[in-house]
Every structure is written in structure tokens, then in C-alpha cells.
Amino acid sequence: MKNLVSQISILIVLMFLITDLYSEEISLISPIAGAVICSDDAFVVQFSDIQTEPVNISLINFQFNERKLLAKSFTGQSFVWEMNDPAWFDKEIGLIIENSQTQELLIQIAPIKIAISPKISSQTESAIVCQGETIVLQVDADGSGLKYQWYKDNKLVPGANNRVLIFESAEHDLIGIYRCIVSSDYSCLPVMSAPISVFVSTKTQFTVAPLNIQWTYLATAQFKVGIHSLDLEEVRNTKFRWYRDTLNVFTGSSEIIALEDGGRISGAWSDHLIIKDMIYTDRGRYFCIAEGRCGFDTIYTFIGDDLFMKIHNIGYDYNDCEGGTAYLEVEVETLVESQIEYQWYNTGLRLIEESDKFVGTKTNKLRINDVQKADAIAYYCRVTMPEFDIFQNSEIFTIDPAFIPFFTLELKDYIVTDRDNFYLGQVNLRTYIYSNRVCKFEWFRNDTLVKTDNNISGSNYHLGSRGAPRPAVPTDVGRYHCVITHPCTTLTTNYVNVIWGYEDVILCNFEKGALEVDKAKDGEENYKYIWYKNKKVFVPNFRIKGAGTHKLEFSWVIVEDTGTYEVWRQHKDSGEIEYLGKIYLEVKGPPEVRKQFPALIVNEDNYLPKKNCAVYSHGPTLFAQLYYEDSPLGEVEVREITNINEKFHAYYLGGYNTNLKSGIYKYKFWNECGESWTEPFEIINTNYKPTGEVKPGGDDYYVSSVPDMTIPQMFIYPNPANDFITVHCAHFVPRTISIRNLVGKEVYRTEFESEASSVSINLADKKLPSGMYFIHVTDGVNFLVEKIILQ
């Protein structure tokens, strides 16, 4: 009996030892207790080490003791669950890891919450109201812990933090484009509503008065009226009707006659009335009634023996800086003695009231004190002769002050972080100001002028031209600021630093190399290292060792190793993770001949057809040498590659007066990482003339010159394409690039002020349907067309 008890005790101890040996190996990097995961993200279970023993991964709802099995008998290091079960959203839950065989609980992480990412389900489309009415804008959204913020014309609306935005007694300053950004109390990605257009219509009133007409026998009278409206749709929908106020000879009373189109009259239902071949009885008073979205208005004019008044503008438009004084004045010329009344308006048909700012609103002279940007509008004077019930508007005066500028975007420190990115791989500083005049932007690095730009509202400092930026280099690091010269003042930005934010390792193909970070100060034995390549966990192979150490060693590199490497250091006991930085590895290969010369080129009289090959090569330098019958011919051509787009290169042979001997030719190309050759090709040139320098040796063998005869060429890559394309022009500087569809309709167009041989175009932004298109490029003299397929 004693032996049996001893054997059972030994078995129990062994089982505990085995279980403990298994469980102590398991630990998680993510998720952690208290984590909030957004429903649009992936639920990632990341183990510290690769799991070789199968485990079950489940969610648990502690309140109802419910479980959801995510993975059964899982092995590996990372498990991703695409969150597709809303029943587990917006609740405090837990994650449990169990032994698949024994069902023993190995790890429990709690609490965890899956927050519902914000989504907009419906919204106001647009709002068109009259002055004084109420504007109601609304968005409906789903999500966890939602927060709302409204914006008008991309500027925050203070206090607008509800899903419903209400404006009572609408005025014109509410006109604009509104959006609502819906975010959450968690780190979920916010969403933005579609733009909501708000327009406040002005009361229907005439602002263009018809001129009084002096009667002339058989002449044509034209009356043109206009209403105030910034809404073209409202203008189109306004109804006009013309009438004549005449005297009934039988009753002796006034009688209103509605005019009709026909005969000598046209435009009786429009804003333009025409009376042809006037006769004596056409004299009298006419008026037009306008019916619009926001009411009615009536305006009068007349045909008489004399013109009652002429108005002359003798003041001046205002174009000076804010803060000055504007003087507007009219002079009235009349043919009859009558009382004259004056009233000044702006073009919003807003009657201007007397105040400290506006002086003389009921006289022929208006003074506007302390002119500000809010006063930037046109003004006119309405002159009325009450005795004759007629009025006339003066020509407009324009108030267009130069706004005193202020910064809307200050400079920020800039870190060069990713050399392959179009902008992040170079210095890109931006400053914006509020201005309505052209300013001079002068950029300084370490107090030395490095760039001058002229613009109205802002300037970007970047390297190279817009279409062909060059990569940043360490000498671009420094302290930058910008001095902005405005017609009214001078602004200086804050000083910022451009910092070199990554390490470069550049190796040639098949070269041995290593990526290395500093060792831990308290001993490498306490840490392990986690390497990522291009945001994905790095997977080592037989060429690359040291994935768990501070040093990745490459037995030899290949072009596919190029990328951004990031490394974390994790303490083995505490699990604490430290980000150590980013290293950019670029593996360069020898030049690649992507397009060969034709196998045979035959002259046509004195013309050798122009042909080219295309070579792909990274910078900084590409060398080329033409060979004739295995011997070098001419000089070595050296191309310095200075911009990040310039990787395809064209080389040409042929043209008029090209004096190449018949024979076998080939091109050699090389850079710092190796060389490549074109396929041999034959030239038959019956027009060859033995001229030029004699080769050393004294025989009759002559060196033919290879003239720099070039023709414009265009290359598009990739082709077919589905997002970004690069248009590269050889011996040709594009000024205009347009894309047309099969029926010739232009669907895209861009123009350039600076010189750039390569231009990148983002087709994804254009939302063009798949199919065949044609790219047109011109420099004002030459014109090239190439076909492209969009997938």
C-alpha cells in the first residue's frame, strides 16, 4: 500500500512539473489589460515567442459568463481576428489562452474593450434659406463615446459640439461649406461628414436700375434690370414681369397695362425689356416686378422728352492697406429743377446707416473710416427724385483693402524620416498667412538665403523643383526661418530645426553587410530584440542571422532586402519594450537595360533612323560608353542623378548627318555596383564618310563622331497603371501635361512653371474609370502623345 501511495505522489508531482514547464514559457506582447481596440482595427494577439504547443484563444464576457472561441489549437506567434461579431462590441470583456489538450488556463487578460468606430449614417445634404430664417444642420452617427465638432470653411465653429447645429435668424456671414468631424473618447479613427453647403438668400430686391430713356422717333429703347443674389440658381428662378402705367383717356384715371411679347415689344417676361421703333405714345412710366425665393420688388423707369438725371462718379476706388480712410463721391446732373435725395448702399443691397465709421450716408459724399477686410465690397449711391417717383443708381465704387497679414500655419521642426517618400524624404517646410496680396517669401538656412518664392497665401520650402524633388542630404540639416514681405508690413516666422531622423546603409547587390544598434548597457543577456521590415515582423532566412539580437548580419544582400528596418528591445523579465530607431537599407544593383536597340538599323539616304535604349539605374552616377566592333567609340558619358524620380534613362543613336560606320555596336552601362551591356546591334550606313580623327596606329581606320543629336521622347511607367504614374521626358522640359479619354475629352490637366524632366501623377485621386487614355505633353513647341492603360 505504501508503494502505491508513493507512485501516485510521484505521478502528481510530475504532472505539476510538466504543466509548470509548459505555462512558464507563454507570455503576450499584446493585447494588454485595459486596452481599447477599435472595431475598424484588427484584434491582434501577439505572443512573445512562437508557440509550438497548441492553444485555444477565446473571448469571455464575465457578466454573463459567455465565451467566443477565436482560434482552436493555434500555433505560431501572431493571431489576427477580424472583428465581425457586434455582440462583443462596446463591452468590458477578457481574453483567455488555454491549453488545447488539458483546457488549463494559461493566460487571462482583462479588462479589454472593443469600441465601435464612428460611422456617419445620415446627414443634412444642403441648406438654402432666406435672411432671418433658421438653419438646421444635422449628422446621425453610430459609435462608442461619440464626440462632435463642426467646422465652417475648414475653420472650427466654437461651441458647436452637438450632432445638431442650429443658427437662428440667418445672415450672409453664415454662407459657407460646413462639415462635422465625429470622433470618440477612444483612439478610434474619426470620420468627417460630406460637405454641407449653406446659402443665405438675400431679400429679392433690384440692384441694377434701368436707365431712363429720352424718346426719339423710331429709335429702340432697352431697359435692363438686375436683382441682388450670389445664388445663380436663384437668379435663374426669379420671375420678371413688365408693366406700363398709362392714362385712360375715357375715364381720366391711371391704368396699369401688362406688356406682352410680340410686334415691337420683346422681353416682357425677362430682365431685359426691348421696345423697337418707338412712337409718340410709347412715352410714359414703366415698371418691372421681380418675384424670387425671398419676396417681391418693384422698380420704375420712364421714356420721356428729356433725361432727368446723369450721375458721375468723381471719387476713387480704395486699394490701400487696412486702417485707412476711403472717400466716395458722386455728382448729379439734372435737366429740371427738383429735390434730390441720396442714399448709399453696398452691393448686398444693404442700406448703409450713419455711424462713426460711415459718414455722409445721405449725401453725395461718403467717408468710410478705418477700412477693414469686412468692408471689402462694392458701394454705390442711389439718387432719387421724389417728385417724379424715379431713381437711378451710380456706377459702383470698389473697396479692396490689402489685408494686414497674420500667420495661419507656423513652421514646425522637421525630421527627415523616409527617403523614398516623395516629401518625407526631403526637407518640406510650410508656412501660410492670411493675405490678399502677393508677398515675397525668403527662406533662410542658418541665416543664409536659400530660396525666394512669390505667392499670396503661403510658401513651401522643398528641395528641387515641384515635379522632381531631390532627396535630402545631411547638409540640408540646419536652422530655418522665412521672412515674408507684404505691401503693408513684414513678417518673420519662428525658427525651426531640420533634423536627420534615420540612418542610411547603402550596399551593392550580393555584398556582405550588417544592420546594428547599440548594445544594452546592463547586459545583452537580459534582453531580446524584435526587428521589423516595412512595418511587418522581420522573418530571418539562411542569408540573414541575428533576428533576436542587436545586429542583423547579411551573408550577402539582394535588391529585395531594400527597405525600412525598425528595432525594439524587450526586457526578458519585465516585458518592457524600448523603441531603438529606424535604419534604411538600400541595396543597389548594376544598371538594367529595360529596352534594347533594334537588332538592325539601316540608313535612309543621309538619315539614320533615330533609335534609343532605356536603362534603369539608381543614383548618384551613371556611366555609358558606346562600343564599335568590341572597341570603345567616343567619350564616356557621365550622368549625375540628382532627383528621386530620375531612375529611367534614354540613350539615342541616329538622326540627320549621323556619321557612323557600318558594323556591330553595343552600349556598356555601369555604376558603383556593376555593369551591364545592351544586346549587340548592327548598323548599315551606306552614307558613311570617313572623316574625323585617325585612331592611333597610323592605318586607315577612322573614328566616327557620335553627335549629340537628340529628339524629344516620353516614357510612362508603370504602364498599365492603377495609381501613381511617372511621366519622364528626355531632352524635353514639359510645360503642360493633359490626359484625354478615347473620345478626346480632357479629364486631367496640369501646368508647370519650373523645369522638371520627371513628373509624378496620382491617378487614384482622379477616380478615372478603367480603360485606354492618351497622355499629351507639350513644351510650347514640341508635342508628344503616348497611350496608357488604366486598370
Per-residue pLDDT of 520-579, as tens digits, reads 888 888 899 999 998 889 988 889 998 889 899 999 998 889 888 889 999 988 888 888
596 shares a domain with 584: no
Same domain for 212 and 298, yes or no, is: yes
> What are residue 559's phi and psi, to 5 degrees?
-60, -35
pLDDT of residue 751: 78
* 4 in a structural domain: no
Range of the domain at 725: 713-790
Domain limit, last residue, from 166, 201, 236: 201
CA angle (432, 423, 442) in 5-degree steps: 40
Average pLDDT, the chain: 82
Give 105-129 as a DSSP string: EEEEEEEEEEEPPPEEEEE--EEEE
Q: What is the pLDDT of residue 16?
A: 39
pLDDT for position 620: 76
- The average pLDDT across 171-189 equals 89
Boundary-marking domain end, from 500, 528, 562: 500
pLDDT at 116 over 60: yes
CATH number for the domain including 376? 2.60.40.10
Of 1-5, 464-468, 543-547, the poorest mean pLDDT is in 1-5
Read off the pLDDT of residues 622-674 as tens digits, 9 standing for 90 and up: 999 999 988 999 899 998 776 555 677 888 888 876 788 889 999 999 988 88
In this structure, are 150 and 176 located in the same domain? yes
pLDDT of residue 677: 94
pTM assigned to the model: 0.40
Q: Evaluate if residue 372 carries a pLDDT over 60.
A: yes
- On whether residue 3 sits in a domain, the answer given is no
- Cβ atoms 728, 715 nearer than 8 A: yes
pLDDT at 704 over 80: no
Residue 165 has pLDDT above 90, yes or no: yes
Q: Are residues 27 and 98 in the same domain?
A: yes
612 and 676 part of one domain: yes
Q: How many angstroms separate the CA atoms of 189 and 532, rounded?
A: 24
Higher pLDDT, 680 or 391: 680
Cell output for 568: 525594439
Q: Residue 438 domain-assigned?
A: yes
Per DSSP, the residues of 242-271 read EEEEEE-TTT-SEEEEE--SBTTEE-TTSS
> How is residue 232 annotated by DSSP?
H
Q: How much of the chain is in helix, strand and coil states, percent to nearest 5? A: 5, 50, 40
pLDDT value at position 469?
A: 63
pLDDT at 709: 37
User: In this structure, is residue 704 part of a structural domain?
Assistant: no
The cell numbers describing 658, all together, are 549621323
Given a cut of 90, is residue 783 above it in pLDDT? no
pLDDT tens digit string along 382-440?
A: 888 887 667 788 888 999 999 889 888 888 888 776 555 545 566 778 888 888 889 99
Express each pLDDT in 287-323 by its tens digit: 999 998 888 888 888 887 666 678 899 878 898 999 9
On the 0-12 / 13-18 / 19+ scale of CB atoms within 10 A, 616 is middle
The pLDDT assigned to 722 comes to 76
Which pLDDT belongs to residue 91?
Answer: 86
Is the pLDDT score of 472 beyond 50?
yes
Q: What is the pLDDT of residues 485-514, one digit of tens each?
A: 999 999 999 998 887 776 778 888 888 999
Q: Is the pLDDT of residue 374 over 80?
A: yes
Residue 708 in any domain: the answer is no
> Which residue carries 478705418 as its cell?
370
Strand partners, 649: 615
Task: Provide the pLDDT for residue 23.
Answer: 43
**Average pLDDT of span 168-188:** 89
Clarify whether residues 336 and 412 are in a common domain. Answer: no
Q: Which pLDDT value is given to residue 413?
A: 84
> Which of residues 249 and 582 earns the better pLDDT score?
582
If asked whether residues 761 and 734 sit together in one domain, one would say: yes
- Say yes or no to pLDDT of 14 above 60: no
Task: Examine the domain organization and report whether 602 and 582 are in the same domain.
Answer: no
More confident residue, 192 or 640: 192
Query: What are the two backbone dihedrals, phi and then psi, of residue 764, each rounded to the nearest 5 degrees?
Result: -60, -35
Domain co-membership, 534 together with 606: no
Tell me which DSSP letter residue 694 carries: B
Q: Is residue 193 domain-shared with residue 229, that is, in the same domain? A: no
Phi and psi, residue 374, nearest 5° = -65, -20
Instruction: Please determine, for residue 708, whether its predicted confidence score (pLDDT) is greater than 50.
Output: no
Cell of 396: 459702383
Q: List, in order, residues 6 or more apart from 536 with CB less than 8 Å away.
A: none
Is 537 part of any domain? yes
Q: Does 7 score more than 80 pLDDT?
A: no
Contacts (Cβ under 8 Å, ≥6 apart) of 84: none
Pairwise CA distance, residues 341 & 431, whole Å:
51
Which of 154-163, 328-337, 414-423, 750-759 shows the lowest mean pLDDT across its residues? 414-423
pLDDT of residue 703: 31
- Please answer whether residues 575 and 584 qualify as being in contact, where contact means their C-beta atoms are separated by less than 8 angstroms: no
The residue-averaged pLDDT of 349-361 equals 89
What contacts 599, CB < 8 A, 6 or more positions away?
A: 679, 681, 682
Query: Does residue 9 lie within any of the structural domains?
Result: no
All 3 cell numbers of residue 269? 417676361
What is the reported pLDDT for 164?
A: 94
Q: What's the total number of domains in the chain?
A: 8
Task: Tell me which residue of 671, 665, 666, 561 sits closest to 616, measured CA to CA.
Answer: 671
Residue 126 domain-assigned? Answer: yes
Domain boundary among 96, 115, 134: 115
Q: Is the pLDDT of residue 166 over 70?
A: yes
Average of per-residue pLDDT across 10-19: 42
- Same domain? For 80 and 128 the reply is no
Helices (H) and strands (E) in the chain, counts: 2, 66
Do residues 135 and 126 touch, judged by C-beta distance below 8 A? no
Residue 259 has pLDDT above 90, yes or no: yes
- pLDDT for res 421: 55
Q: Quote the CA–CA distance of 759 and 749 in Å, as a whole number.
A: 13
Q: Are residues 278 and 351 in the same domain?
A: no
Contacting residues for 89 by C-beta, under 8 A, at least 6 apart: 39, 83, 114, 115, 116, 144
pLDDT at 707 over 50: no
**Residue 9 pLDDT grade (very low, low, confident, very high; cuts 50, 70, 90):** very low
Calculate mean pLDDT across residues 212-233. Answer: 79
